[in-house]
Chain A
Amino acid sequence: MHFKRPGWGKTLGAIGMSLGLILVLAFIVLPLLWMLLMSFKSRTDVMAIPPKIVFTPTLVNYQRLFFGTQKAGYDAVPSDFPRAMVNTIIIAGGATLLSVITGTLAAYALARLHFKGRDFMAFSVLSFRFSPALSIILPVYAIYRRLGLYNTHIGLILIYQTISLPLIIWVVRSYIESIPVDLEQAALVDGYSWWGAFTRILLPLIAPGLAATSVLAFVFCWNNFTFGLLLGAAETHTLTVATSAFVSYEQVLWGVMAAASIVTILPAMVFIFLVQRWLIRGLTFGAVKA
C-alpha cells in the first residue's frame, strides 16, 4: 500500500500563493495605510525625509478639513469640505435613486417585453460605458451652459446617469431574466395588476441583487471626479473635487488632503464591507441561470 504524503510541491505552492496574495495586498493596502498615517501627521512630519513611521499623531488636519480652523500657520477660513460632503450625498444619492427607479423599469422592459430594436437599445445603453467621460464633456458642457444645468445638483445627477444607469440596467436585466416569467403570469391570473405582480412578486425576488447593484452604482458615482470638476463649481463641488483643491498654486496641503481622502473613501468602504456578502451573491446570481 502506498500512501503519498503531501509533497513539498504542494507546500511550496501554498507558500507561493500566499506570497502572491501578500504582494497584491501590499500594492492595494500600503498606499491606503500611508494615507491614513499621513492624515494624522503635523505639517513638518509630512515633509520629513526619510518619512517618519513613529510620530506624535495630531487631529489638526481633520480640524482644518471640517472647521477650517488652524492653530498655527493658517488663517481661520471656513472650510468648504462639509458642503462638498452634502453635495456628494445629494448628487451620488440622487443619481443612484434615479437610476434604480428608471433602470429597474427599463431592465424589466428589456428583459420581458418584445419590441423592435430591443437589443439595439440595450446595447446603446451599455455603450455609454465604453467612451471615457472626457470624450463627451465638451458638448455636454456647452449644452449645460445653455440650459442652465451647469453647476446645479440636477445637472450633475443627470450626467451621473451615464455611470449608474447602464450598470443597473444590465445587471438587473439579467436578474429579471433568471426569474421564471410564469411567476408573474400566475400573479396576473391570481388577480394582480401588472404593477401588483411587479411589486409583490418580482421586486422581492430581485431585491438582494438590486440592493447590491445599487450600492455598487452609488460607490461609482461617489468616486467620480471628472463630471464634478468640469460641470460644477464651488456650489456643487463633490468630495473628490474638494480633495483635489488642496493642491493649490502656493502650496500642497498634503496632510489635509490625506485626511480628505480618508473621509472620502470611508463611506464607500463601509458600504462595500456591509453588503460584501450580498454583492458577490448578487453579481453572480444573474450569471448562473437555473
Chain B
Amino acid sequence: MSTIALRSLWKKYGKVEAVKGINLQIQDGEFFCILGPSGCGKTSTMRMIAGIESITAGEIWFDNQLVNDLAPVKRDVAMAFETYALYPPLTVKENLAFPLEARGEPKARINERVEEVAKILDLVDVLDQKPAQISGGHQQRVSLGRCIIRKPRVFLFDEPLSHVDSEARRKMRGEVKRLQQMFKTTSVYVTHDQSEAMALADRISVMNLGEVQQTGTPNEIYHHPHNLFVADFIGEPPFNFFDCSVVSDGGQLAFRTQVGNHRILVPNTIKERMGDSLDRVLRVGVRPMYITPSLVEQEDSQIHGTVYVFEGLGEEGVLTVDVDGSLIRILTEPDFEGKPGDRVWLNVDSSRIQVFDPKTTNNVLSC
C-alpha cells in the first residue's frame, strides 16, 4: 500500500520524447488508469514506475520514498504484462510460486498461497500444466495470479486484457476490479481501451503525445473533457462537434453553425461566459445521448438533416444523421423508425453541451 507521485517525469529514447515531464499524484488504494492511444507514453510511464525502464529526468515517489534509483525488487511492485510473460519451462504452479521463491519464502507458505490464488482465479485444474498447454484466458489469469500472490505495495497492469477475446475481456475486467477492491492495493492500469478505463478506474489520466491531457474521475472526464482530444477519445460513439459562431439574435445569445445556419440557444448557465465571445468561432460538442431525433418537426428542433443509417442494437440504437455533409451520431431507442434519406429533426439538450476553442483545442467552459 502506497501513494505514488510522479514529478516532472521525462523519458527520451535518443531524440524521441516518449514522456514529456508529466506530474501525477496517485492516492493510496486507488485504482488509477492511464489511458491513451498507442505511442502516447503510457507504457513507458508504467515501466519507469516498475523500475524496468530508466528515468531520463524527474522523480518517482512511493509514499515519502524516492524510488528513482531503486531496483525493481526493492520497489516491491507486482506487474502483469501485456504478453503475460509466463516462464515457458515452468508449470502454472511454479509460475505462481516464482515471485515468492525469488524472495525466499518458506515452502509451506508458498504452497498455501499458490492454493489460495489458484482458488480465487479458478486455476486449480491447470496447476500442473505448462503455459503453452493452456488457453489464452487461463494464461492471462496466471499472469494476474503471479501479481496478487505477493502482497505488494503497488499493482501494475500493462494492458493485461488486450489479447483475450471480447467476451473473456468483459468477464476479466470485472475480475480485475473485484481483486483490486478485495486487496485495496494501489493499482496503476495502462490501457488504450476507453471503456476499460471507464469501467475500472477510480480516476483516469488521459495521455497523448507524452503529455497528460486530463486527470479526473471517469465522470469528470466523460462529462467535462478539458480539450478536444479527451472529448474525442472518450465515449463510444464519440462526441459530435459543430463549428459555430456566437451570435446575438433578437437579444438572445445563440450558437449558429457555420454550415447550414442552424441555431442552438446558449443556455443560461453559460450565458455570461459566452457574452464576450461574440462572433468568435467555437466548436460546440454534444454527446450522442443528449440529442433527441424526431421524424417530424418539433417546436424546439434546432437542427435538421437526413437519416444516413440506423443501427438497432437491441438495447439501444445508433442513428447516424447527415447534417449538411457532416455525420452526427445519436443514441436512440432501439425501435427508432427512420430509413436512409428520411428528413430528421434534432433537439440538442443545450445544458449538456461543451464548448471548445478550435485553435487551442481547450474547453472554454472548464478552463
A residues touching B (Cβ–Cβ < 8 Å)?
A: 180, 182-183, 185-193, 196, 201, 204-205
- Cα(A200)–Cα(B72), bound, Å: 17
Comparing B19-27, B56-64, B97-105, B112-120, the segment that makes contact with chain A is B97-105
B56-106 residues with Cβ-Cβ distance < 8 A to A are 71-73, 77-79, 81-83, 85, 87-89, 98-99, 102-103
Known A180-B83, A182-B83, A196-B102: A189·B89 in contact at CB below 8 Å? no
User: Of all chain B residues, which has the CB nearest A179?
Assistant: B88
**Interchain residue pairs A-B with the least CB separation, the first 4:** A191-B102, A186-B85, A190-B99, A182-B85
A and B contact pairs by CB, cutoff 8 A, 29 listed: A182-B81, A182-B83, A183-B87, A185-B47, A185-B52, A185-B72, A186-B79, A186-B81, A186-B85, A186-B87, A186-B146, A187-B102, A188-B52, A188-B73, A189-B50, A189-B77, A189-B79, A189-B156, A190-B78, A190-B98, A190-B99, A190-B102, A190-B146, A191-B73, A191-B99, A191-B102, A192-B102, A204-B89, A205-B89
Give every chain B residue within 8 A of A196 (Cβ-Cβ).
102
How far is the CB of A114 from the nearest CB of chain B, in Å?
9
Contact status of A180 and B85, CB under 8 A, knowing A189-B52, A190-B98: yes
Let me know if A185 and B85 touch, CB within 8 A. Answer: yes
Please determine whether B72 and A189 come into contact, CB atoms closer than 8 angstroms: yes
Q: What is the CA–CA distance of A182 and B98 in the complex, to the nearest angstrom?
A: 15
Q: Which residue of B lies closest to A204 (CB)?
A: B89
In the assembled complex, B51 has its CB within 8 A of some CB on chain A: yes
Residues of A within 8 A of B89 (CB): 204-205
Give B142 Cβ to nearest chain A Cβ, in Å: 12
Residues of A within 8 A of B102 (CB): 187, 190-192, 196
Count the A-B residue pairs with Cβ separation under 8 angstroms: how many?
55
| Chain A residues within an 8 Å CB radius of B52 | 185, 188-189
Which B residues lie within 8 Å of A187 (CB)? Answer: 87, 98, 102
What is B's interface to A at a CB cutoff of 8 Å? 47, 50-52, 71-73, 77-79, 81-83, 85, 87-89, 98-99, 102-103, 146, 156
- A118 to chain B: closest CB distance in Å? 13
Q: Which residues of B are found within 8 Å of A193, using beta-carbon distances?
A: 71, 73
> Min CB distance, A198 to chain B, in Å?
13
A189 to B83, CA, bound (A): 15
Q: How far is the CA of A188 from the CA of B82 in the complex (A)?
A: 16
Report the bound CA distance from A193 to B51 in whole Å. Answer: 12
Specify which of B78, B82, B88 is in contact with A189 (CB 8 Å cutoff). B78
Q: Which residue of A lies closest to B77 (CB)?
A: A189
Alpha-carbon distance between A182 and B82 when the two chains are bound, in angstroms: 9
Give complex CA distance A201, B85 in Å: 11
Chain A's closest residue to B74 (CB) is A191
Chain A residues within 8 Å of B78, by CB: 189-190
Q: Which residues of A contact B99 (CB under 8 A)?
A: 190-191
Contact A183 B85 (CB under 8 A): yes
Asked whether, in the complex, the Cβ of A188 is within 8 Å of the Cβ of B72, the reply is: yes
Contacts of A205 in B (CB 8 A): 88-89
- Minimum Cβ distance to chain A for residue B53 (Å): 9
Most buried by B among A183, A185, A190, A204: A190
User: Within 8 Å CB of B50, what residues of A?
Assistant: 185, 189
**Cβ of A201 and Cβ of B51 under 8 Å apart?**
no
Give every chain A residue within 8 A of B73 (Cβ-Cβ). Answer: 188-193
CB distance from A189 to the nearest CB of B (A): 5
> A188 vs B73: C-alpha distance in the bound complex, in angstroms?
6
Give Cα A196–Cα B101 distance, bound, in whole angstroms. Answer: 12
Nearest opposing residue in chain B for A185, CB measure: B52
Measured CA separation A22–B92 after assembly (Å): 50
A290 to B82, CA, bound (A): 16
B47 partner residues in chain A, CB cutoff 8 A: 185
